[in-house]
Amino acid sequence: MQGVVPFPSPDDARARRGARRSEPLWRQLLGEQLRSERVARAERLTDVARRAGVSPQYLSEVERGRKEPSSEMLAAIGGALDLTLLDLTSRVRDRLAAGSGTSTPRQVELRLAA
């Protein structure tokens, strides 16, 4: 049998992750965007949650980046704020691009299967 290959320690993995620039999670940026939209409209969390058909607790978790909602949930929450899925994803994309140092968001073509 050949020599033993050492298994990396958790400290090694943390050091490698720390060496890379960490990007925010999509759900965190999405939650921040939803909260900023709600606050800008001077709306209470309970009112938006009621219109979206979700519990205030769930909406709070989404806004804090704790939950990753489905597209159906996003459409409902966005609709309660008079935003489309395209509005939400574009705004989150812009935030992500701004944080990465990219001066203008890259255009991406999206084709949906019929």
- Residue range 14-58, pLDDT digits in tens: 666 655 567 888 999 999 999 999 999 999 999 999 999 999 999
What is the domain-level CATH number for residue 49?
Answer: 1.10.260.40
Give the domain range for residue 79. 26-97
Which residue is it, tokens 């409209």? 41
Sequence-ordered alpha helix ranges (H) in the chain = 10-19, 26-40, 45-52, 56-63, 71-80, 85-100
Better pLDDT: 46 or 9: 46
Domain assignment present for 11: no
**Domain count for the chain:** 1
Domain assignment present for 4: no
Q: What is the mean pLDDT of the chain?
A: 83
Domain assignment present for 18: no
Domain assignment present for 31: yes
Give me the pLDDT at residue 23, please. Answer: 80
Verdict on whether the full-model pTM lies above 0.95: no
Cα separation of 19 and 76, whole Å? 39
Domain assignment present for 105: no
Nearest CA among 98, 48, 106, 97 for reference residue 73: 48
Domain assignment present for 53: yes
Tokens read off for 34: 């939803």
